[in-house]
Amino acid sequence: MASIVPVLGMCAALVSAPCPQVAQRFGDVLYTHEVFGSGRHLLRLSTGGNVIDLDDWRRERMHAFAESFAAETCRSPFRLSDAANPAWPKVRAVFARQFVFRCISERPRRLAGTRGKT
């Protein structure tokens, strides 16, 4: 019986291992959402082409989805940016994009020179 305990421990470790994300669907946009320890969020988006669909239309749909998703996630101001790497090759047809966003705290910033003054 004692020899089965290490095997059961190994099985438990396999079950708790991270699993790859499966994309969620919203309309014609497929997405995955990851949160990093630094408070940044990564959205990976893709969309299929309609019968008559242009790159600009797909780009606009994905950007609108990213803005809406960030607004819903943060429920406060956010900073959204394209996660395109300049080293990546330029692709003619745009079917996927990545966005990074960070929620901005609503605390007012301290103005310079007002520290310690009342």
Which pLDDT does position 93 carry in this prediction? 76
Which pLDDT does position 13 carry in this prediction? 52
Domain layout of the chain by residue ranges: 22-103
Which pLDDT does position 7 carry in this prediction? 45
Q: How far apart are CA 89 and CA 91, in angstroms?
A: 6
Among positive and negative, which fits the CA dihedral 41, 78, 88, 96? positive
pTM given for the model: 0.68
Is residue 98 a contact partner of residue 83, using CB atoms and an 8 Å limit?
Answer: yes
pLDDT single digits (tens) 24-42 = 998 889 999 999 888 899 9
pLDDT single digits (tens) 67-114 = 999 999 998 899 999 887 777 777 777 888 999 999 987 655 555 655
DSSP percent split of the chain into helix, strand, coil, nearest 5:
30, 25, 45
| Mean pLDDT, residues 5-9 taken together | 48
